[in-house]
Amino acid sequence: MTEETHLVLFMPSGKRGRFASGTPVIEAARELGVYVESVCGGRATCGRCQVSVQEGQFAKHGITSSNDHISPIGPKEERYYRVRGLPEGRRLSCSATIEGDLVIDIPQDTVVNAQVVRKESDGRVIERDPAVHMCYVEVEEPDMEKPLGDLDRLLVALEKDWKLKRIEVDFHLLPRVQQILRKGEWKVTAAIHKDEADDRPRLVALYPGLKNEAYGIACDIGSTTIAMHLSSLLSGRTLASSGTSNPQIRFGEDLMSRVSYVMMNPDGREAMTNAVRDAINGLVDKVAEQGGIDRHDILDAVFVGNPVMHHLFLGIDPTELGGAPFALAASGAQHLKAEEIGIHLNKGARVYMLPCIAGHVGADAAAATLTEGPHRQDEQMLLVDIGTNAEIVLGNSARTVAASSPTGPAFEGAEISSGQRAAPGAIERVRIDRDTLEPRFRVIGVEQWSDEPGFAEAAEKTGITGICGSAIIEVVAEMFLAGIISEDGVVDGAMAARSPRILENGRTFSYLLHDGAQKITVTQNDVRAIQLAKAALYAGVKLLMDKLGIDHVDRIGLAGAFGTFIDPKYAMVLGLIPDCDLEKVKAVGNAAGTGARMCLLNRGYRREIEETVRKIEKIETALEPKFQEHFVYAMAMPNKVDSFPNLEKVIALPEKKVLADAGGDGGRRRRRSRE
Amino acid sequence: MTEETHLVLFMPSGKRGRFASGTPVIEAARELGVYVESVCGGRATCGRCQVSVQEGQFAKHGITSSNDHISPIGPKEERYYRVRGLPEGRRLSCSATIEGDLVIDIPQDTVVNAQVVRKESDGRVIERDPAVHMCYVEVEEPDMEKPLGDLDRLLVALEKDWKLKRIEVDFHLLPRVQQILRKGEWKVTAAIHKDEADDRPRLVALYPGLKNEAYGIACDIGSTTIAMHLSSLLSGRTLASSGTSNPQIRFGEDLMSRVSYVMMNPDGREAMTNAVRDAINGLVDKVAEQGGIDRHDILDAVFVGNPVMHHLFLGIDPTELGGAPFALAASGAQHLKAEEIGIHLNKGARVYMLPCIAGHVGADAAAATLTEGPHRQDEQMLLVDIGTNAEIVLGNSARTVAASSPTGPAFEGAEISSGQRAAPGAIERVRIDRDTLEPRFRVIGVEQWSDEPGFAEAAEKTGITGICGSAIIEVVAEMFLAGIISEDGVVDGAMAARSPRILENGRTFSYLLHDGAQKITVTQNDVRAIQLAKAALYAGVKLLMDKLGIDHVDRIGLAGAFGTFIDPKYAMVLGLIPDCDLEKVKAVGNAAGTGARMCLLNRGYRREIEETVRKIEKIETALEPKFQEHFVYAMAMPNKVDSFPNLEKVIALPEKKVLADAGGDGGRRRRRSRE
C-alpha cells in the first residue's frame, strides 16, 4: 500500500513525477521545481497556493474521472471555501493530497493566485521570484522556563516553518516586535528580504496575523518623465501605473545643463536630488491610491535611470559625468534601503538599482537591454535610446557591445529654428507632395490632417506653434524624398522656381512648412543640425558594427519617447539607423520600465543584467579614430557608403502608401498616449 | 639554490616553519597563523607590521650573528626608518625577507606595533581580531576605455590586495567616494567591517591616503553608572576610560521603578532612552578628548547592560520585563549601526550588543561570564552581580546554569532606616569591639577611622549622614560576631545591660552606631531587610548548586559596585555566599566592562559568549519549589544547614587581624575610586 505511487503532471510547465498517496500537491510541485506561492505555510488560510485539478484527462489511460484521485475537501479547506470562495475546480494545494494519477494546472490568473508566470500587456512573460517573501508563523508564547526573547522565538519559528537560517533583523523592528506579536496573538507574518544567493535572509517587516499581500514599485527616472508601476509581489499583477514630469526640468532641460547647474550652484545637487525624490514620493502616493493600497505595504522598489538621473537620485554629485573621463561614482548594481534616500515606503523597504553600463550608458539602457534581450538571442539586435546622447547597445548571445554617441539635443527639437517640445500646437507628422512640394501635416491636439475638412477650426484652439522632435525627422526626410534637399543636405535654391515655399535667406534657402500667425520654416541650419545628430548616431552604430565585424543588423529596437513617436521609415530614410527589415524595427518605448519591473518580480533578472553588464564591451566613441570617418560619411542621406536595400523598397512605395501606413490607427494611438 | 629553506621561529608563540630565501617575514608569519597587523598592505608605510629580529640566538648552531640571515634594509624600509623611526632591532616584516635561520619576536608593546596579544591592567591577555580592519589600497584611475565606476574600481583593488570578495558598501559612502578618491590621489584606506563568518565584508568608512588608526569603544551601561573605554583597534591599547552616573536615576533609583515610570508615563520610555544615549554621547566626547582622537574615527562599539538598560538603550519598551513571564523583546546578540540609535561616532560605525541570558540576567552578566570564564575552566565558579536583583551564574566547562534572585534594594541601602547611597558622609566600614560593643567606623571623604586623631575635625566637613551598602553588610555581620544579634537575626535586648548602645524601640531593640547631629542606628527591621535580601541571594545560589548537584564552589567572583566594595569576609559571615576558600573569593568589579572590551578587540569572543549563552541553562527561581525552602533556611547567619569551614577560620581571627586586612591600602584605593 505505502509503496503505491501516482503520476502527477503539472501544467503549463509539463513537469511530472511520481508521488506516494497522501502527498500534498504543493509538496509535489516544489519537489519538481514548480513554483507555487504560499504565505500561510500550509494552513489553508492565504489561498495563494490554489491549483486547478483537471478531470478526465487521463481517460486514455482508462481513467474517466480524477475525482477519487485527489483527496476530498477536508475541514480546513472547506473553511476557506466558505469564507473566501474559490473558482470552480480550484483546490488548495497545501491541503489537497495526491491519491491517484493527476493533471494539475497552475492557474495563470493573477488576482488571488500565486502564479508561476505573468503575461505583461506587451505579451511578455515574467516568471516570478521576488526578493521579498511573506512568511506566516505561529510563535511560541514566552515561558519563564525558556527565557528566549520574543524576537528570538520568532526567528526559531521562521527557521522551523520556512527553513530560514541565520536571519538578520532590521533594527527598526526591535522596538515594535513585542507589540506586534501580542497584537497578532503570537501569529504574525514576516516579510523576508533576500536578494543575492549569499545574502543572509533579512526580516524587514512584521505584521500581526496573516498578511496576505506585499507590493513593490518599479520606476524609470527619465530626464523628462518619471514613470512608475505598482505590482503585487505575490501575484505579479500590475495594480497601477503613473507618470509625472521630472521637476528637475526647471534646473535645465537636458542632462548637461543639469550637470552645469550643479557645477555652478553650491546647493544645486541637493536641490535636484530633493526635487526628484519629492516627485517620486508623489508618484508613490498616486499609484498607491490608484491601486487602493497603503504605501507602507510597499516592501521593494527598483529604479532605473540614465547616469545623471541615477547619481542625482542617489544624492551623488554628477560633476564627474560632465567631462572626460566621465567617471561614474558607482557603476555596479546598488542595494539600499528606501529610507536612506528619503523614499517613504514601508520602513524596511529595500531599493535595487540596476547597474550602469558606462558614463553615458545608464541603468535605463541596462534595463532596456534586459527587456529586449540581445544577449538572449542569436540575431544581431540593435537597441537605441536617443536623448542628448544616444545610448547604443548591439549584439547577440555571443557578444554585446555598447557605446554612447553625442547626438546633441536636435532630435528633441532644441537647436531647431521652429523646434518645440511635444505639446498641443506642435506639428507631429509631415508629408510633402513630390510634385507640388505642398505640405500636409498633423498637429498635436487636432484630429484632422491639415488638408482635411475641419482642420482650420480645430487648430484655432491649439494654434500651430512649432515642430516637435518626431516631425523634424519626417519633414527633413520628406524634403529629401521630394528633392528639396540633396543627398548632401543642401536645400536646393533651384526649386524656388517650382514652389513659393522655397525661400531665400541670404546665401541659403529654407522651406516654408506653414504660413500662419507664426511662420514655421525649416532652414538650412535646421537640416545641418539634424544631419550632425543623425551622423553622430549612425557613426556610433557603425562603430559597434565594426567591433562585431558585421555589416547588417537583424532587429532594431528604438527606446524612449523619441523611439515611440518616430516613424521607423523616416529614420531609415534619413539614415539614423542602418538598413534593416522594417518589420523588425520596433519602438520599445517602455523597455527600461519593463526591465525595472522584471527585476522587481524576479531577482534572477537582477543577476542576469549584472552579469550581462559585466560582459558588455564598452566602446568610447571619442577614443575611436574610425568614429570621425564614419561620421563624415554618415552626413549624407542616408549615407554615402552603406547599402540600404530595405530603404529602396520604402522609397519606391507610392507616397499615398507611405501616408496610409503612417497615418492609420497607430498614429492616433501614439498621439493619444502623448497627450 | 631555490630549494634552500631556512628555519624561522616566531616568539612568543613558538610557532615555527621552514621558508625559502626571499620570503617576506610577514608572509611566513601568516602562513604559520601568527597574526601580524598591516594597514598599508606591504608598502612599508604604516609600520604596523614591525618585528624584532633576535641576534646571535642560533650561536649554538654555529651561527654567531643573524645579520646576514635577514635581508638588508631596502629603500622603502629605509624611508620609513628616516621618516618615522623604529626602536633598535626592529624591522618591517613586510619588507624584510628571510635569508637564513631566524628567531623573530612579535613585540608586545602596543603603541605603534601590531600586536598579537595585549595585557590588560588586570593581567588579562586579549588576543586581537577586531571586526574592523583598515585596508590601504591604490585604486586605478578612471579610464574611458574601462568605464567601471570609481567605487567599483576601489572594490576591485580591495579584492586584489586584500582578498575581500563581494564587499557590501554602506550607502552613506556613495555620495562621498569620488571626492575621497581624488583627495587621496587614488590612494585610500578602507575600513572593512566583518563580524560573523558568513557575513559579507562591508565597507563602512573610507579615508584619503593612509589612515593608520581606528578606534572602538566598550561601554557598560549600569543602572547607576555608565563606564566607557576607548581602545585602538589596531594595537588594542586602551587610550582612555571614563564614567558618568546614569541620568535615568532621576526617573527612578532602581530598575523596577524605571520600568514603572515607563508604564505610568506615555513618553517615559523615550525620555529614558534619550537620557542614556545623551549620557553615552557625552562619554564619547570625554574619552575622545582624553585619548586625543576625533570621535569620528571610532568605528566599532560594544555595549553591555542589564535587560532593562539594554532595552531602554535600544529604544525598546521594558514593560514586559516588569512582570511574569519577564519576556525580553530580544535576547540574542544585536548588530546595528551606531547611527540607528543616535550614537554619534563615524557614520559607518557599528554596534554590537552581547546577548542577554534571561529576563533578569542581562548582557552585563553575559559579559562578566565571558571575562571570568566559568565555561572555560574545570573549577566550579560562582559569579554574582548584586543589584535589585542578583544575577547568578554558576558552573564550569561541562555545564553552566544561571538565575536571578529577588534580593530587593536592601543591599543598595534602600529600605534601611539609615541607609544612603555611597557619597561623602556615608559610613562605609564598621568594626564593633567584641567586649565593649563600641563601634569604630570609617566615613567616605574622611581619611581616619572614627577612633583616630583628627577624625572629628575631618568629619565636620562631610558630616556623618548614613550607612552605605557595603557598611550595612559589615555592621550586621559585626553585630552578629559581637553577639548583639543571634543566629536568627534577633537583636538581643539582654545586651542593653552591657552597653548603652542597645536601645529599646517598643518590642524590638536597635544598635546605636553613631550619636551625632544625626543618630545612626541599626534597627531590628534593618537586620530583617538584610536577612531577607541575603536569604534570597543564597537561596538562588543554592538552587543552582542543586541543579549541578554540587555542595561547594571552588571560586567566587563578586561583580559590580557592590562586589567591589564589599568585604568577602563579611559576605561569608552573613551567609550571602556559600563557603569558599577566601583566597578564591574576589571582586571582579569591572568584569562586564572587560567582557565588552574583549568583544571589541576580538570578534571570536562574540561567538564564544553567544555560544555560551545558548548553552547556559536558565533557572527561574519563582518556578522552583525548593527555592522557598532554601530561602527559609538561609535566613539564619550564615545559615542553618550548610557548613562553612572557611568561615570558621575567619571568625576565629582576632578582631585586630580582620581590621588590619580590611583597612589597609586596599580600602583606601577602593574609597578613592568611589569618590
Find the residue in A nearest to B319 (Cα): A178
Question: Mutate which of A169, A174, A267 to disrupt the B interface (most B C-beta within 10 Å)?
Answer: A174
Q: E strand or H helix at B648, and its extent?
A: helix B645-652
A124 reaches B (C-beta below 8 A): no
Tell if the CB–CB gap between B171 and A623 is shorter than 8 Å. Answer: no
Query: Residue B673: its pLDDT value, please?
Result: 38
Q: Report cis status (omega within 30 of 0) of the bond before B12.
A: yes
pLDDT at B292 > cutoff 90: yes
Bridge partner residues of A98 (DSSP): A70
Asked if B132-208 and B223-353 have one fold, the answer is no
Instruction: Give the pLDDT confidence score for residue B653 in this predicted structure.
Output: 53
Provide the chain B residues 430-449 that lie in CB contact (below 8 A) with chain A. none
Please identify among residues 300-319 of chain B the ones whose CB lies closer than 8 Å to any CB of chain A.
314-317
Q: pLDDT-based confidence at B568, cuts 50/70/90? A: confident
- A151: distance to nearest CA of chain B, Å? 5
What average pLDDT score do residues A366-395 get?
Answer: 92
Confidence of residue A261 (pLDDT cuts 50, 70, 90): very high
Nearest to A495 by CA among A519, A465, A524: A524
CA distance B366 to chain A (A): 14
Contact between chains at A330 and B199 (C-beta distance less than 8 A):
no
Instruction: Return the pLDDT at A56.
Output: 43
Tell me, which fold does domain A5-111 have in CATH?
Ubiquitin-like (UB roll) (3.10.20)
Over residues B271-285, the mean pLDDT reads 98
User: Is A149 close to B330, i.e. CB distance below 8 A?
Assistant: yes
What integer best gives the mean pLDDT of chain A? Answer: 88
The reply to whether CATH 3.10.20.30 applies to domain B5-105 is yes
* Span B132-208 CATH architecture: Roll (3.10)
Contacts A198 to B, Cβ<8 Å: 166, 200
Grid cell at residue B603: 570578534
Q: Assess A152–B contact: CB distance below 8 Å, yes or no.
A: yes
Q: What share of chain A has pLDDT > 70, as a percent? A: 91
Q: Per the structure block, which three cell numbers stand in for B261?
A: 515610570
* Chain A interface, best mutation among B158, B176, B178, B303, by max A CB count within 10 A: B178
Above 80 in pLDDT, residue B537? yes
- Distance (Å) from the alpha carbon of B355 to chain A's nearest alpha carbon: 10
Report the topology of domain A126-208: Ubiquitin-like (UB roll) (3.10.20)
Give me the pLDDT at residue A14, please. 84
CB atoms within 10 A of CB A614: 12
Q: Would the pLDDT of B330 be above 50?
A: yes
pLDDT in tens, B522-533: 999 999 999 999
User: Are the C-beta atoms of A191 and A206 separated by less than 8 Å?
Assistant: yes
**Residue B336 confidence (pLDDT) above 90:** yes
Question: Is there a contact between B147 and A358 if contact means CB atoms under 8 Å apart?
Answer: yes
> CA angle, A81 as apex, A76 and A86 as ends, to 5°?
135
Lowest mean pLDDT among A151-165, A237-251, B15-29, B407-421: B407-421
Contact between chains at B151 and A327 (C-beta distance less than 8 A): no
Residues of A with CB below 8 A from B334's CB? 171, 174
Q: Is A171 on the interface with B (CB under 8 A)?
A: yes
Measured between CA atoms, how close is A179 to chain B, in angstroms?
9
A61 pLDDT exceeds 70? no
Give me the mean pLDDT over the B252-275 stretch.
Answer: 93
How many interchain CB pairs under 8 A, A with B? 155
Does ipTM top 0.85? yes
Q: What is the secondary structure of A404-459 as a DSSP string? A: EE---GGGGTTTSTTB--SSTTEEEEEEE-TTT--EEEEETT-SSBTTSTTHHHHH
Q: Of A222, A196, A234, whose CA–CA distance to A46 is shortest?
A: A234
The answer to whether B494 faces chain A, any CB pair under 8 Å, is no
| A-chain residues near B340 (CB < 8 A) | 171-172
Asked which of A188-202, B65-79, B154-168 is least confident by mean pLDDT, the reply is: B65-79
- Nearest chain A CA: its distance from B277 CA (Å): 15
Check whether B519 has a pLDDT greater than 90.
Answer: yes
Residue numbers in B near A330 (CB within 8 A)? 149-152, 169, 174, 177
Looking up cell 512648412 gives A513
Closest CA to B282 of B341, B226, B362: B226
**pLDDT band for position A171 (cuts 50, 70, 90):** very high
Chain A positions in Cβ-Cβ contact with residue B151 (cut-off 8 Å): 329-332
Residues of A in contact with B332 (CB under 8 A): 149, 151-152, 155
Q: Looking at the partner chain, which of B149, B336, B622 has a beta carbon nearest the beta carbon of A332?
A: B149
Which residue in A228, A222, A287 sits closest to A255, CA to CA? A222
pLDDT band, very low/low/confident/very high, at A652 (cuts 50, 70, 90): low
Q: Which three cell numbers stand for residue B416?
A: 534601611
Domain range summary for chain A, segments of one domain joined by +: 5-111, 126-208, 217-353, 372-405+530-656, 418-522
Domain B223-353: give its CATH architecture.
Answer: 2-Layer Sandwich (3.30)
Region B309-322 average pLDDT: 96
Other residues' Cβ atoms within 10 Å of the Cβ of residue A581: 14
B111-120, B257-266, B591-600: least confident range: B111-120
Q: Check pLDDT > 60 for residue B287.
A: yes
Helix (H) or strand (E) holding A12: none
The alpha-carbon gap from A620 to the nearest alpha carbon of chain B, in Å, equals 6
Contact A326 B622 (CB under 8 A): no
Asked if B337 has any chain A CB less than 8 Å from its own CB, the reply is yes
In whole angstroms, what is the distance from residue B602 CA to residue A115 CA? 48
CB burial of residue A656 (10 Å; 0-12, 13-18, 19+): exposed
Would you call A174 and B146 a contact, using CB atoms and an 8 Å cutoff? no
| Averaged pLDDT for residues A621-634 | 91
Interatomic CA distance for residues B246 and B513, integer angstroms: 31
pLDDT at B116 over 50: no
Contact list in A for residue B179 (CB cut-off 8 A) is 317
Side-chain-side CA neighbours of A536 within 13 Å: the count stands at 23
Hey, are the CB atoms on A329 and B358 less than 8 Å from each other? no
Residues sharing a CB contact under 8 Å with residue A349, sequence separation 6 or more, in sequence order = A204, A205, A298, A299, A300, A301, A337, A338, A339, A343
Q: Give dist(CA A621, CA A539) in Å, integer.
A: 9
Angle ∠(B554,B597,B587) on CA atoms, nearest 5? 35
User: Would you say residue A64 has pLDDT above 50?
Assistant: no
Percent of chain A with pLDDT over 90: 65
Q: Mind listing the pLDDT tens digit for each residue in B145-170?
A: 888 999 999 999 999 999 999 999 99
Mean pLDDT for B634-657 is 74
Q: Is the Cβ of A199 closer than 8 Å to some Cβ of chain B?
A: yes
Residue B152 has its nearest CB partner, among A146, A332, A620, at A332
Confidence of residue B52 (pLDDT cuts 50, 70, 90): confident
Architecture of domain A217-353: 2-Layer Sandwich (3.30)
Average pLDDT over residues A83-110: 83
Please write the tens of the pLDDT for every residue from A503-518: 998 899 999 999 988 8
pLDDT score, position A372: 93
Cα of B672 to nearest chain A Cα, Å: 39
Does pLDDT of A107 surpass 90?
no
Residue A543: what residue type? L
In sign, the C-alpha dihedral spanning B565, B569, B575, B578 is positive
Q: Dump pLDDT digits (tens) for A577-618.
A: 999 998 999 888 789 999 999 999 999 999 999 999 999 999
